[in-house]
Chains A and B, each alone.
Chain A
């Protein structure tokens, strides 16, 4: 069987023609069946574009489910851990959802588009679970992953870029708010959301307008130093700002094979997303039990001495191994060496001192460092402009 050049088994996003053109490194990876860029030209420069100007990330492969019908809200409320009733129309809420054992299956966002109309964005494919969950509800669940194209526009000049593209009044959009604009006769939905911890937006459009949107956005953003960025730069930004990555910082419960390898929301530091006052939701009984008997782990952010990222490190308290690192990065803006860790519940209070055993290699020479580290309270990157409305102009 012969294969034509460029003919792969991977899907292409609606922005692919533009992304491929911009991808100077020709560096690709698979995301949810789509081919997506790991980096476009230079990971550090892409990262600094996001932190100092504006970066654009193609998030079209994200799994998107449209949930409509009279029971849409009730359905979501039984599905996820938080109280969906508190997410008003034109608002977005971050949440997790659990299996019956109270173990996190995924995290994602709920977009409340209109009355009885929601979009659930998920890391993992979820149609099977959503379909089972829909039994007994008057609700329709449709996988619209391929019907909605989306870009994240993130960074201090993101608002200016979009305003200059014609989105008048965008500066008044509050964090986690949703607004709609006309874009060449098509609805352009903008949410003030993102995965970088800075001022930023996600823009959602029909696939047939995707390429035009990309072109107009980059044209309008040119004076504001807009650049595309890939998954590697995104990884730096999300660690710097303290966001968990499904599949990295936890394994979706339905994908774990060995007992005990999944995590509860409490164990991931996401207890604030759990509303046990709801009479029923998936995992409720198990989570109540966990509150009574205690969790096995807890999630901490560590400030690690030195500049060597503590990838995959074991963590010690004295002689005792108390945990492991799930994500690590040297964070350029905050100038700190950050690690996310899962550690035994007995230790890990804010200010606790631990030791990370770091291995690193230079020209086939391996070095082992025992780096002191400290449990810190919250993320190292958390600028005020992230929350300010109206958005500060740059």
Chain B
């Protein structure tokens, strides 16, 4: 990739951000997120009477002075969340100026970095040769390099719809980020499945300007980059209007599905990653 996915300047800005999620975890390794478990953290949760076997270091001596009973201070255990980033690596993403694939990679890197900072466990899922390909369990800043490498080596030329593959495997409770152009009819099924898998879902919809506002004229054969199928269309004012309508209903369909399953949704139209982060992702509450 000619351009760096992410530079040091941006990384600095990302230090203070985290993925917004009200996810309450009950499993997993220690991390930076609240969990139902009590454990060793700085965050106070409750008191309980001391029983044998308890760590007497945790006795609240102030309480003992007041009530002459031994109480133990309970703290919330902070667990790591697993963040699953789904990058659509179909051929259709390899399109646009800048390419959607590049934007998607950048976003994936940003979200991955932010998650690692928050001591979350990051997994990236893509499709490769019609199968789900992934790099899992990246945590710790020192592994970030590995994640970026993985993202950088992604090739966007798959024809298999990623959304068909998502429900082929289970996911740990966590956060799912889907970066795709959503040119699929399996979107809702996949969301439904992820929702069932207790995922907090974030949908990042990347569309190029050519897709949002086509500027073609005359008789055109559109060749699908994935299927290589041609489609003859005569572009007139009327067809353009019809396209706009179709696009609108397509977008509102996706938004509707997202609302239904409580997903965050953001449509990415910009091509500058900083603008994407601060306008789209923060504004829609994906990052904070």
A and B held together in a complex: no
B residues adjacent to A (C-beta < 8 A): none
